[in-house]
Structure formats: C-alpha cells, structure tokens
Structure 1
Amino acid sequence: MFQLLGGPFVTGYLLYLGATSFQVGIVLAIPSMANMLQIVGALLIQRYSNRKLLFTLLCGTHRVLWVLTGAVPLMFPKEYGVTAYIVVCIAAFMGQAVGSVFWTSLIADMVPAKVRGRYFGIRNTILWAGGCIAIVAFGQILDRLPEPQGFHILYMVAAVCVVFDIFFFLKYPNRPFEKSGQQGTAAMLKVPFRHPPFVKSMLFISLWLFVQGISVPFFNYVMLDIMKLGYNWIAIATMTQNVAMMIGYSMWGNLNAKYRSKTLLFWTLPVIAAACMGWGLLPVLPDIPVLLLIHMLIGVGIGGFNQLMFNFVVGDTPKGERPMFIAVFYALTGFAGFMGPLLGGAVYRIVAHMPNWVQLFGISLAAGIVLLIVAVSIGSRVLLESTKWPRRPGAAGWRRGV
C-alpha cells in the first residue's frame, strides 16, 4: 500500500493531476510536516494509555483518507485536483503522525531490546519485498494502460490493502503502558532537552534531512519529467533501490547487534551523499547503469539511515519517557524534512529555464557534495562521540550508551 500510494507512482499521479514541481515538493514534504504533531501524541499517550486502540483509530483513519485521494479526479474539477489532494493528504498524515507515537511505543515494548536491531532488519526486508512486487506489477500496468485506467486499478488494490491493514492492527497485543514519572506537560517537554548527546544528534539529523530533502525526494520527478522515462523504467529503478534496501536492512540489522546505532548511523551518511553525487556521472556514462547505481546506493543508505535512526530513538532512550523523546525527535526532524523538499521544489521551479543539466544532475550533485562535507565535518563529531545516559535516581534502564 505504501509503495502504491507513496512510492514512485505518487509523482506520476501528481503530474497526471497537473502538479508543478513546487506542488510535488509540498506533497513529498507532508509526512515530515505532520510529524511535528507527534508531541500531541506524546501528551495524549499519558492520558489514554490504550495504545492499541488509539493507534488503530488514528492510523486506520490515515489509511482510509490516503486511499480516498484516488477519488480526487472524480470529485473535483481539474484546476482544483492538486489542491484537494494536498488537503486530504494533510488530514491523513496528521492522524498517522499522532498515531505513530502510540505504535512506536507499543512496538518497542513488544520487541526485546537485545534482538531489536535484527528483528527490524528482518521485518523491513519482508516489507520491502512486498513493495518490490507491487512496484514491478504496477510499473507494467501503468505503462500499458491509459493513465486514468491504470491509476483506478492502483487505487482499488490499495483500498483492499487498507482493509487488511486495519484488520491486522486489531491483532496486535495490547501491552501495559509505563507512564512518565514527570508531573505536568512542561516537565515532560523539558526531559529530552536535558540530555546534550540526544539534542546534538537530533539537531544534526535535522540538518541532514533538510539538505537531503532538497534532492533525494525529486529523483523520480527528474526521471519522469526531465528525462521522460516511462513508468516501467521508474519501476525498475525503484525495485533496484528496494532490493538494495532489503539487503541493507539485513546488513545494518546484523551489525546493529554488535555496534551502537549512532556509530552505524554515521556510516550511512557517505553512502547517501555518494548516491546524490552519482547524478554527476550522467554526462559521461550511459543513463540506465548510472540510475541503477544511484538507486542501489540510495537504497542501502536511506534504508540503513531510517532503520538505525528509529533504533537509536527507541533503543537509546529511557522507557518511561520514550514517547516524549520520540515526539520531540520526530517533531524537529519532521520540520527539517518538511522544509527540505519544499525548498527543493522551489529550486527546481526556479532553474526550469536554465540549461537542462542544472535540473538533470546539477542540483543533486551539489546537494551530494554538501552532504559529504556535513557528514565529515559535523556528523563524525556528533555521532561518533562516546556518551552515556545519566541515571535518574531510583530508576533503572538509563545506562544504555547513546
């Protein structure tokens, strides 16, 4: 479902609706923007501790609204189609953002810490294997059928996935919840900011996501709108990325059983930077091999980055205060992740009348160089430092190294 509605085909669907590069950037930034609401979820979880019920309601609403974006061309005139899509998506991802706090807290209690890295490596590998099947199948369908008909089939399949998704939500165990030891909203909000290693990591990751967002979310836009590749090639490139991501999940998950999440997180950064700089090979090498190399690198890099970032927040934060740590982390990084694609969309619009190479590889090459400089100059100092959580009097479990 996520590959059909939020993978490579969402850019094609938006272009079908008549979206500009700036509007594509807005849509790609919506999930990150909505993550700023996770602080609301962290406060609600202290009052409504039935995590299974709340995440089922909120995330289920997200799935239903998201699949309803397929009805936009049927319900709105063409000139309002993109605006309607954006409004529905914002409402959907607001529910997802708040609900994900309940889900993350629950899944962290369900999976023992000592196997968490390997577990999520296996879980994500299986998840992306399913995504690969969806991408290959619908790359063929969208290439062979007229756009409205192909997208109708895509959204009908996604609607079936929504029903199954909600059904499996209801099968989760409902583990008891350990509430925060802090009294009052202000006290809970202050806890994450009392830990300098966490704050420095959060600020660095926010900077990284901001710069990354200028380029990486627009890979499909460049292939579809600038290079004029068909959906079949987009599907092949994305499948290559997903296969690399699956291998990366397993590799990073196994390494995470031996090494700290923050240390491994640092080593994903040069891989992502190299993927962006790989666009600079287009003038000297054939397009398709270069695109496949780029997507292999971005699959290994982004897959590891997302998995290890999640493991860092879930595994290296105190259990009772974890929802607020999660919320603050994803609120700030979400804001950065929102601003990056927004700026990226504006940049692609500004350079539309410049020489073709600027859009084709210039922006991504420049972003990759900046990312590499940021990784070496700042990331190495923030993520490779050795620190420990201070103990809270009378509480265990704060001794994990960050």
Structure 2
Amino acid sequence: MDNMENKHKVTVSKRVRKPSVHRRNLRIATLEGVPSTIFQVLLQGQFLTGFLLYLGASSSQIGFVLALTTLVNVAQIGVAFLIQKLPSRKWAMVTFIGLHRILWGSTGLIPFIFPKEYWVIAFIALYTTAFIANTAGGVLWSSVISDLVPARVRGRYFGIRNTVLNALGSLVMYGGGIILDRYPGGHGFLILYIVVWIFSISNVVVFFFYPDVPFEKSEEHKFLPMFKKPLKDTLFMKSTLFLAAWLLLQNLTVPLYSYVMLRLLHINYETLSLLNVSQTVFMMASFYVWGNLNAKYSNKRLLFFTLPIIALSSLMWGLLSVMPMLLVLFAAHIVFGVGVGGFNQLAFNFIIGDTPKKERPMYMATYAALTGLSSFFGPLIGGQLYEKIAHWPQWTQVYGMQLVVGTLMIALAFLLGRRILKDE
C-alpha cells in the first residue's frame, strides 16, 4: 500500500513539474523580448530613417538600407543546412545574435570616428555586417522557439507575447520621439544610442538563460536533397511565392512612410511617434484577436483576411486630398496595424506550424529567402520611384504612390490570394 502511494506521489509530482518547466521556458522567452524590443525600436523605423537623414542619406540610399535586412535572408538557406551539423543550437544562437547587437549598436559611433563624407557608407557597411550575423541568429532563434513553445498554445502564447512587447515598444517609441524633438540632431541620437548600448548588452545576457532544447535533425545529410524538400512541397511553395509577391508590393511604400512624413509632410518626431504608437496599440489588440481566431481557423485562411485590411490602409492615404492630414494618417496607421499584426503573426505560425518538424529550418530558410528577396526589391524600387517623381506634383509623392500600390494589392488579394490561401 505504501509503495502504491509513493508511486502515485511520484506520478503526481512529475505531472506538476513538467508544466512548470514549460512555463519557465516561456517566461524566459518573453523576458528576453524586453531588452530586444527596446534595442530594436530605437534603431529601426522612424529612428532609422531620421538617423540616416542626419547622416546625409538620400531617399534611394534610405530605400537601399531598409531593403538590406531582407536581402541577407537569402543566406538563411546555407545556415539551415549548417545548423544540422551543430551539437548545440543555443551557443551558436547566442554568438550570432550577440554579434548582431554589437555591430548594429556600433553604428552610433560613426559620427565620432569617420569624416562626414563617409558617414553613410560606413553605416551601410556596419549595418550589412550586423544583419548577415542576424541571418544566422534568426534561423537559430526561430528553430529554438518553435521547439520551445508547445503547438497547442502557440497561437495564444505569441499573441500575448507580441501584445506585451508591443505595448513596451509603444512607450519606448514615444519616449524616443520626445527626446529627438527636445534634443535635435546629434545630441538626441547620442542619448538614444546610450540606451541602445545598455539594452543590447542586457539582451545578450538574457539569451544565456535560454534552455538548450533537443534538436530533431533532418533525415537528409546532403545539401541538395535537404534543399529540395520544401521546393517539392507544392502547397508550401504556392503560398510562399504568393506572400513574396504581396510583400514586394507592400514594401514599395510602407518602409518609406517615415521618409514621406519627415521630409515631405514636415511632421515632427513626437507626432510621428504618436502615429506609430497608435499603429502599435491596435496591432497589439489585434494579436489577441488573431491568436484566438487561430485556435479555430487555419493560418492560411486567416492570412487571406489580413490582405484587404493592409491594402485598405494604403488606399486611405488618398483621403489626404479631402480630409485633415493628421486624421487621415492616424486612421491609416491604425488600419495598417490591425492588418500587418495579423499578417506577421499568422505568417510566422504558418511557417513553424504547418511544416514538417525535422525539415523546419530549411522550410523557414526557403520562406525567408524568397520573401527576403521580394522585400529587398520593394524599398529599393520604391526609393528610386520617389527620386524619379521628385519633380512631379507633390500629391503624387505624398499619396499617389500609395493609391497605385493599394489598388494593385486589392487586385492581387482577390485574383490570386483567394485561391492560394484556402484550406486544403
């Protein structure tokens, strides 16, 4: 009788302990996102565009820089193969993510080290190297997090995690905007970079506490057979190529919104921060809604419903011709936040949830490479187009591009998206 009671206690103890390990791992993954969010918010979006303008970059150079982060994603295919050879993913992940944080943060030292005529070139060199390191770190992190988060809670967990981190990001974004308005030019960016350096180091430290979860490796040991696995998956490739085409259109204008508002509409950083905060707040609210819907409906079906919302946000810029500027911009940012929040969350869940576990790194890399190429050419072409129409009537630069792109997105969504992003 005592033996049976002891066995029962051991069984109950195991049942209690196992979920606590999962909870601890998820807590670490959420905690890691805090310094990462602060670090990245202050170095991207409006702050990246503003810093590049401070360094003397043109619209085409800004478009090129915004596109670089996605171009290097092509290298993820090689990384996905090489990580199969690693005995441990954790320390490789820490190394590459650490390099990314250090190199990106060091762009703040450019005005102190280089002559002014080399500022933009030096930024592009450091930024490119940082995101090459991030390519490897991103594959490793996605692989680890997909194993860390149980499939049954994945939709809700990422919904909650994204909500918390985007709430934090909104506060940081607004605070950063106030600093740049109060301390214009190099002084303001120096303050931002001091904060960046503190939290980039903190972020790397938290990664040391990530668990080294077991890694189910591919059954293929050679590169070509492993590379061909996702290419032979017809449903995966059709969806991925469609999403790549969509991102090409979307990125013709969206990454350059900050350029339009800062340079053409002469909006100050505080107002720009409020616009982005409103976008983020509604994105956060949408994470919870999309996460709950994802428990009932497939990733692909919900992905389709995000497309018209994103297209509508682009078309809304046309209202600048008849309505007050700030009212239109706030409305367009809010609608975009709802759409792109769902798109990003569901696209990520599609890659880590609807793909074979053992082959997932190569599937992720293939998706990242194809969408990365299209996302690279989007801002690059967009930046060039803005330069070519610089002497056209101002409305063509302020909202004309958005109207054309929004119309094309609507056509793509309903002509192809409805057929491709459907339940099989």
For the aligned pair, the TM-score class normalised by the smaller chain equals over 0.9
Equivalent position of 1:93 in the other structure: 131
Letter in 2 for 1:302: V
In structure 2, C-alpha distance between the alignment counterparts of 1:250 and 1:66, rounded to whole Å: 31
Contact kept in structure 2, 1:271 and 1:297, CA below 8 Å: yes
Q: In the alignment, which of 328, 346, 359 is matched to residue 397 of structure 2?
A: 359
Deviations 1:264-319 (A, max 9, x none): 11111011101111110001000001000011011111111111100000000000
1:173 partner SS: coil
In structure 2, C-alpha distance between the alignment counterparts of 1:102 and 1:72, rounded to whole Å: 29
In structure 2, C-alpha distance between the alignment counterparts of 1:80 and 1:239, rounded to whole Å: 33
Q: In the alignment, which of 130, 154, 170 is matched to residue 208 of structure 2?
A: 170
The answer as to 2:94 corresponding to 1:65 is no
The answer as to 2:115 corresponding to 1:77 is yes
Q: In the alignment, which of 175, 185, 205 is matched to residue 243 of structure 2?
A: 205
Contact kept in structure 2, 1:214 and 1:367, CA below 8 Å: yes
Q: In the alignment, which of 169, 176, 197 is matched to residue 159 of structure 1?
A: 197
1:5 partner SS: coil
2:322 partner SS: coil
Deviates more, 1:196-205 or 1:28-37: 28-37
Equivalent position of 1:300 in the other structure: 338
Percent of paired sites with the same residue: 47
Letter in 1 for 2:229: V
Equivalent position of 1:271 in the other structure: 309
Deviations 1:120-157 (A, max 9, x none): 01111111111111111111111011311100000000
Equivalent position of 2:43 in the other structure: 5
In structure 1, C-alpha distance between the alignment counterparts of 2:316 and 2:125, rounded to whole Å: 35
1:163 deviates by 1.0
Equivalent position of 1:320 in the other structure: 358
Contact kept in structure 1, 2:230 and 2:363, CA below 8 Å: yes
The answer as to 2:282 corresponding to 1:259 is no
Equivalent position of 1:188 in the other structure: 226
Deviations 1:50-106 (A, max 9, x none): 111111110111011001111111111212111111111110001111111111111
Contact kept in structure 2, 1:62 and 1:93, CA below 8 Å: yes
Letter in 1 for 2:230: P
Within a 5 Å distance, the mapping from 1:3-402 to structure 2 comes to: 3-384=41-422, 386-387=423-424
Contact kept in structure 2, 1:67 and 1:155, CA below 8 Å: yes
Contact kept in structure 2, 1:41 and 1:98, CA below 8 Å: yes
In structure 1, C-alpha distance between the alignment counterparts of 2:331 and 2:98, rounded to whole Å: 36
1:282 partner SS: helix
Contact kept in structure 2, 1:40 and 1:98, CA below 8 Å: no
1:7 deviates by 2.5
Contact kept in structure 1, 2:45 and 2:255, CA below 8 Å: no
Letter in 1 for 2:49: T
Contact kept in structure 1, 2:63 and 2:380, CA below 8 Å: yes
**RMSD of the TM alignment (CA)?**
0.8
Contact kept in structure 2, 1:41 and 1:99, CA below 8 Å: no
1:49 deviates by 3.8
Deviates more, 1:47-56 or 1:338-347: 47-56
1:183 deviates by 3.0
Contact kept in structure 2, 1:34 and 1:97, CA below 8 Å: yes
1:366 deviates by 0.6
The 3 A distance-change label for structure 1 pair 368 and 49 is farther
Contact kept in structure 1, 2:230 and 2:237, CA below 8 Å: yes
Letter in 1 for 2:220: Q
2:42 partner SS: helix
In structure 1, C-alpha distance between the alignment counterparts of 2:337 and 2:102, rounded to whole Å: 28
In structure 2, C-alpha distance between the alignment counterparts of 1:98 and 1:205, rounded to whole Å: 22
In structure 1, C-alpha distance between the alignment counterparts of 2:186 and 2:53, rounded to whole Å: 12
2:253 partner SS: helix
- Please list every run of 5 or more consecutive structure 1 residues that lacks an aligned counterpart in the other structure: 388-402
Deviates more, 1:320-329 or 1:75-84: 75-84
In structure 1, C-alpha distance between the alignment counterparts of 2:102 and 2:293, rounded to whole Å: 37
Number of corresponding residues: 386
The 3 A distance-change label for structure 1 pair 49 and 198 is farther
- Please list every run of 5 or more consecutive structure 2 residues that lacks an aligned counterpart in the other structure: 1-38
Contact kept in structure 1, 2:45 and 2:258, CA below 8 Å: no
**Segments of 4+ moved more than 3 angstroms:** none
